[in-house]
Amino acid sequence: MAMGTFNFHGGATSHKPIALCRTDNIHTLEEVTTHNPPTRNNDHHAFAQVSTHLRLKSDSDKKDGSIKYILSGEGAGNIFIMEENSGKIFVLKKLDREEKSFYTLRAQAINRLTGVPIETESEFVIKIQDINDNKPKFIHGPYVAEVPEMSPIGTYVIQVTAVDYDDPATGNNARLVYSILQGQPQFSIEIKSGIIRVASQIDRETKDRYNVIVQVQDMIGNAGALSATATVTIHVSDINDNAPKFQQKSYDMSIIESASIGEIVGVVLADDIDVGKNAEITYSIEERGGHFSMFNIITDNITQEGIVTLNKLVDFERGIRRYHIQVRAENKYKSELNDTATIRVYVVDVDEPPVFLRKEYYMEILENATVGSYVGTVTAKDPDITNNIIRYGILPNEYSRSFEIYSNNGSIIISKPLDRETEPWHNFTITATEAQNLALVSVVEVYIRVIDVNDHPPELQNEYDIYVCEKTKAGEHVQTISAFDKDPVIDHQFYYMIPPEEISDANFTLMDNTDNTATILTLRDGYSLQENPIYYLTVIISDNGIPSLSSTTTLTIQVCDCGTNNDKESCRKNFFWIFLNSGAFIAISVFSIVLLALAVIVHIKCKKSPTHFNKKGEDLKENIVKYDDEGGGEEDTEAFDITGLRHQTVMREHKRKRTIRTDIQSMYRLSLGLGPDVTIFREYLSEKLEEADTDPYSFPPDSLHTYAYEGTGSTAGSLSSLESSALDSNQCLKFDQG
């Protein structure tokens, strides 16, 4: 079997038999509707065409059922099947050429019993024949185009394109034609290309958008053709072809006479039916006739309005009460597109506040002017015809406290003394109010300059540390001094001198340099640091003010050992080190003394032993009572803790027992007037004092107070409340005054 090619209608349904044509070469065969008798060719293969089916037949087939036909390849079994006995090929489902246009199959005849091939395998192609089953479709939609208004006829607008998926090689199934269903007579379309063009004149101001409906058909629009439609939105763009027009040909406006320059008088508006930049307008005032200079007009670029403003002040009482101007509105980009209108402006009378004759006032006054002195006058007028009375006042602030104003005439006087050095300028606000209408108030700023007078004497510029070397020579430079003056005079001139009464005894002289400085010079050779380390020089400084003022200053000149180089700068450095060394020495000395005192205290504490009473047999009378407070009776128990004193008893070395005089009685008995006479008592005290002075463990005598005798007749019967303690009446206590 040789390979063959067969055409099949794409609209064929399932189980439709297909005739198989057998040939030596590949042929494209149309489906036929007639029966052709079997024929023979050189390779002995059968060829048949049947309108209802395709059939494969072997020359060896004797129709006894011994041959079996087998189909394989694309779509075999699911799209195409073969009847194994007859070799007929059937289609199982509907075919779509646009999906697949041909199928390649293979067929073979085998012995049914043995399975041995009787014929060699044959390959053939089934081609699907096209039918008009697809509608044309527009691509690249939706379609939007733009064309300027007033475009010439034939102007290109846009091209629409449609496709048809049928076979363009088969008849007219895919041959398309275009037409306009809606959009005429403004637009037309080329039937084959789909190009839309302007067909008549269009005006954006009449209609700015068109929805053109385009139709496309296949089969050249013949009967049975399939079609589709698309909408093309065509926007008509604007061109600058319209002039602006004022809404009114004349306007009436008004302005109050108190209006300030730049104040809005009114608004005019011209309409331009164009859009975008083509509708932008520029307004102006024509300079022919009328009062064009009195007003100005500006363009609001957002609202396209013309805003009329006041260019010069108007006055109802003294000026024109009605003004005429001509305004012009023209296209911003085409001045030939324009329109004009007339404006009448009426001036309205108002009750105006007072008007000062000046915008601000500058005045001057000497700083030594007395209270009540006249400074200056401010003046305001009522601009109205009525010419009301004006009252003046000062708005209080920190600078107006020194001034007052007469309310009836505006005269300013001083109310407090002035000081230029404290406040060189005083600025404040003065009000002018109509007496009949307190709401009408005007203000003006007043600036008063306080003129300086010479009331400050000159002073030294700095505090000078002046040194003179011991080995200096007469006439050598010592120091240059300068002065300043708080009075702000630009051409200050200072004069320096030594008081005449000190010139004869002076060790130094003063030379005026005539440049507001002076130089101190030596008057002799050599100065002695040991004999006279410091000299004083009195300097009088005066100025050139009127009246001239002066001050007296005493300068201290220190003598210094400047060394071999005679360098005074070393004096300042040595002074610093001397000061530093002195301070360090003092600090170290104080610290050493403190350490020494602490060491002594620690040593004494270490020498002290625990409290011991005298050995048995030692006379308690050898203990001396020494204290710095006279007994206060029972109140002593609150003032002193006697027990604490008793614990601080100092342990002394054992001394040889002395013979105690029996004629010396206790202090207690003496207080009762029972003791010996005064001479014997004094002798006793002297012995005890000598013993205390030679005792190394006793406190210094200058830190103790010894009370020997209280006197007789004590109602308490005792020196103090000591007897109330556990001590013997002859035992005495000793404690430090501190």
Query: Which of 486, 410, 417 minimizes the C-alpha distance to 455?
Result: 486
CATH number of 137-237: 2.60.40.60
CA 197, 199, 205, 208 dihedral sign is: negative
Phi, psi of 246 (to 5 degrees): -70, 145
- What distance in Å separates the CA atoms of residue 142 and residue 211, rounded to the nearest whole number? 12
Beta strands in 334-435 (DSSP E): 338-348, 355-356, 360-366, 374-377, 380-381, 390-395, 403-405, 411-414, 425-434
Of the candidates 350, 364, 357, 349, the residue with the CA atom closest to the CA atom of residue 392: 357
Predicted local distance difference test score (pLDDT) of residue 53:
55
pLDDT of residue 585: 61
Tokens 């027990």 found at: 643
Would you state the pLDDT for residue 354?
A: 92
CB-based contacts of 78, cutoff 8 Å, min separation 6: 92
Global pTM reads 0.41
Tell me what pLDDT residue 623 has.
45
Candidates 141, 106, 154, 101; CA nearest to 4 is 106
pLDDT < 70 stretches in the chain? 1-53, 289, 489-490, 572-585, 607-681, 696-738
| Burial (0-12, 13-18, 19+ Cβ within 10 Å), 591 | exposed
What homologous superfamily does CATH list for 5-129? Cadherins (2.60.40.60)
Q: How many C-beta atoms surround the C-beta of residue 488 within 10 A?
A: 11
Burial class (CB in 10 A: 0-12, 13-18, 19+), 124: buried
Please tell us whether the domain made up of 245-348 is placed in CATH 3.40.50.2000. no
* β-strands 250-256, 281-285 pairing: unpaired
CB distance 153 to 199 below 8 Å: yes
Closest CA to 551 of 564, 541, 536: 541
**Sheet (strand 403-405) strand order:** 374-377, 411-414, 403-405
Direct distance between the N- and C-terminal alpha carbons of the chain, in angstroms, rounded to an integer: 152
The helix (H) or strand (E) run that includes residue 681 is: helix 678-694
* Pairing label, strands 380-381, 411-414: unpaired
369: which DSSP letter?
P
Distance CA 364, CA 362 (A): 7
What is the DSSP annotation of 616-636?
TT--GGGS--B-SS---GGGH
SS (H, E, C) 109-178: EEECCCCCECCCCEEEEEEEECCCCCCCEEECCCEEEEEECCCCCCCEEEECEEECCCCCCCCCCCCCEE
Pick the CATH number of 355-451 from 2.60.40.2300, 1.10.10.10, 3.30.450.40, 2.60.40.60: 2.60.40.60
**Structure confidence at residue 574 (pLDDT):** 56
For the segment 466-521, what is each residue's pLDDT rounded down to a tens digit?
898 888 888 888 889 998 887 776 677 888 888 888 888 788 989 988 888 999 99
Q: How far is CA 58 from the centre of its chain?
A: 100
pLDDT score, position 647: 42
Burial letters for 568-581: b for 16+ Cβ neighbours within 10 Å, e otherwise? Answer: bebbeeeeeeeeee
Cα dihedral across residues 665, 666, 672, 673: positive or negative: positive
Strand ordering across the sheet containing 390-395:
360-366, 441-451, 425-434, 390-395
Fold for the domain defined by 459-567: Immunoglobulin-like (2.60.40)
Judge if 137-237 and 459-567 fold alike in CATH terms: yes
Structural domain boundaries in the chain: 5-129, 137-237, 245-348, 355-451, 459-567, 620-724
In the chain, % helix, strand, coil (3-state, to 5) comes to 15, 35, 55
Please report, to the nearest 10 degrees, the dihedral formed by the alpha carbons of residues 524, 525, 528, 532 taken in order: 0
Under DSSP, the state recorded for 76 is: B
Measured CA distances, 524 to 474, 478, 499, 510, 538 (Å): 4, 12, 19, 13, 18
* Residue 306 C-beta-side C-alpha neighbours within 13 Å: 31
Instruction: State how far the Cα of 608 lies from the Cα of 626, in Å rounded to an integer.
Output: 19
* pLDDT confidence of residue 289: 67
Burial 506-529 (b: 16+ CB within 10 A, else e): bebbbeeeeebebebebeeeebee
pLDDT at residue 697 in the model: 60
Q: How far apart are CA 519 and CA 511, in angstroms?
A: 5
